Amino acid sequence: MNEPLAQRLRPKTLADVCGQQHLLAEGQVFRRTIESGRIPNMIFYGPSGTGKTTVARIIAENSGMTLHKLNGTSCGTGDIKAVLKDIGTLAGAGGILLYLDEIQYLNKKQQQSLLECIEDGSVTLIASTTENPYFYIYNALLSRCTVFEFKPLSAADVERGIRNALKKLSASEPQPVTMDEDACAYLAESAGGDLRKALGCLDFVVTAAPVDEGEKHVTLGMVQQVTRRTAMRYDRDGDDHYDIVSAYQKSMRGSDPNAALHYLARLLEAGDLPSACRRLMVCACEDVGLAYPQIIPIVKAAVDAANMVGLPEARLPLADAVILVATSPKSNSAHDAINAAIADVQAGRTGPIPRQLQNKHFDGEDAAVKGQNYKYAHDFENHWVEQQYLPDVLKDVKYYTFGDNRTEQAARAYWAKIKGEDKL
C-alpha cells in the first residue's frame, strides 16, 4: 500500500508536533493535564492539517486504555454500540478511550448514544471536528466535554514540518533528498497553514524529482507546479467561507480598500463569485447607504457586469466597485431605522392604520368621525403638510435619525426649513 507521507511521518510525541504551542508548550494547562495521565473528555476543533488527529492519537496510544477509533463519515450507531459492549469486560478493564474523528457527521441520535457512558466515566471521548462544535455538536454532549481550538499553522511551523520530513525522507529513500531554500519557504507559505497539504505536495515532487549526482533535488519551479492552486483553504459550507466573507464586508465597512481587495481575491480564487457579489451589494446598501445613495445602482451595474463576463474578467468590475464602496462615506442610518421598525412589528406594536391613510372612502354607522380627511401633500406649499401617518400607538416614534454625512445633513436642513423646525 502506498501510504501518504503525512501518515508515514506522523509525530509520536507531543514534543514533535508542529505548532499549537498555546496548547502543547511546556507548562500549558492542556499539556500538563495530558501528562498527568487523567484524560478528560475533549473535542478538538480547527482546520484540517493542523494536528488534531495526531495529538488525539498520541494521547490515546499513551493512555493505557483500550483504544477504539471511529470516523464520523463512515461509522453508524452499530459501530458505537460495539464499542460500548466492552464496558465492564476484561477488554475494558483499564478503561475505554474512544477516538472519534469528524464527529460533526454523526446525527443527533448517534451523538446521544454516547451521553450516558461519558457521564459515568466508563468511556473517555476524544473527538475532532473541522466545523464549529457549537453549531454541529449536540449541546448535551458538548456540555460534557472541553473544547480546544487548533489554529492554522504559521508558515514557520509548516516549514519546520517540511524540514523534519526531508530528514526522514533522506534516511528512508534510496537517494538523499535535498530541497532549495526558496522552494522550502514557498511550499510552507503556499500551504495555507495546512501541514498535511504541504507534505502531500512534498511527497509528489520528491517522487517526480530526477536523480542528480546521486541525490533527488527539489527546486522552486517543481514546487510551484504542484502548489499553484493549493495556497488557500476554502469550503463554501464551512467556517473558512464565513470568515472570509465576514472579513470582506467588514473591511469595506471599515474603509480599508487594500484588505477588501485581499478578501475579494480569496473569494474569486476559490471561484465563489456569488458570495463576492452578494456581500458587495449588501455592503453598498447597509454600510454606505444614504451617505451616497447613488452607489446602489452603480454597484448593481458592476455586479451585473461581473456575472455577465464571468471569471476571470469579473475581477475587474468587482474591484472597481469594492474600492468605491471602501472609499465612500459611510452611513448605517437606514439599516438601524428598518431594524427598529421591524422590532416593533415583531413585538406586536402595530395598531390600526390611521383613517386618513386607509384605502376606503365609506365610513360605517359606528364611525366617530365621518370622512377620510386625507390631506394630499401636493396640494400644499412645498408639497408637504403636517399629518399623522403612524398608528396611534406609535405616533411619536422616530426610527430614522439623519446621519452626520453631507448628503443626509443636506436632507435634514431641507426638511427643517420646510417644516419650520430651523426657527425653533
Q: How far apart are CA 417 and CA 168, in angstroms?
A: 81
Q: Residue type for 125, please?
A: L
Helices (H) and strands (E) in the chain, counts: 20, 8
Helix axis angle, 315-327 to 273-283, nearest 10°: 30
Q: Residue 99: what are its φ and ψ, rounded to 5°? A: -100, 115
Q: Which three cell numbers stand for residue 88?
A: 465492564
DSSP state of 27: T
Angle of CA points 29, 30, 31, to nearest 5°: 95
Per-residue pLDDT tens digits of the chain, which is 424 residues long: 466 777 777 888 888 888 888 999 888 999 998 888 788 899 998 888 888 888 888 888 777 788 888 888 888 888 888 888 877 676 666 778 888 988 988 888 888 888 888 888 888 899 998 888 888 888 888 888 999 999 888 888 888 889 988 888 877 777 888 888 988 888 888 887 788 888 888 888 888 888 877 888 888 888 888 876 555 555 555 556 788 899 999 999 999 999 999 999 988 887 788 889 999 999 999 999 999 999 999 999 999 999 888 888 999 999 999 999 999 999 999 999 999 999 999 999 888 888 888 876 555 555 555 556 788 889 899 998 898 889 999 989 999 999 999 999 999 999 999 988 865 5
User: Comparing C-alpha atoms, which of 412, 410, 384 is closest to residue 398?
Assistant: 412
Cβ-proximal residues to 205 (8 Å cutoff; 6+ apart), any chain: 218, 222, 223, 225, 226
Distance of alpha carbon 68 from the chain centroid: 31
pLDDT 10s digits, 247-275:
999 999 999 999 999 999 988 887 788 88
Domains along the chain with CATH numbers: 20-149 (3.40.50.300), 155-227 (1.10.8.60), 239-327 (1.20.272.10), 354-421 (1.10.3710.10)
Query: H-helix or E-strand containing 8?
Result: helix 5-8
Q: Which three cell numbers stand for residue 186?
A: 514557498
User: Comparing C-alpha atoms, which of 246, 208, 251 is closest to residue 226?
Assistant: 208
Of how many residues is the chain composed?
A: 424
- Give me the helices (H) in 228-383, please: 239-253, 257-269, 273-283, 295-309, 315-327, 333-346
Segment 284-287 long-range contacts (CB within 8 Å, at least 24 positions apart): 284/321, 284/325, 285/334, 286/253, 286/332, 286/335, 287/249, 287/252, 287/253, 287/325, 287/330, 287/331, 287/332, 287/335
Q: Residue type for 267, please?
A: L
Q: What is the pLDDT of residue 364?
A: 56
Q: Residue type for 357, please?
A: L
DSSP state of 395: T
Residues 33 and 59: beta-carbon distance below 8 Å: no
User: Comparing C-alpha atoms, which of 25, 5, 7 is closest to residue 15?
Assistant: 25
Q: How far apart are CA 99 and CA 69, in angstroms?
A: 5
Q: Residue type for 292, please?
A: Y
Q: How far apart are CA 295 and CA 288, in angstroms?
A: 8
DSSP state of 381: G
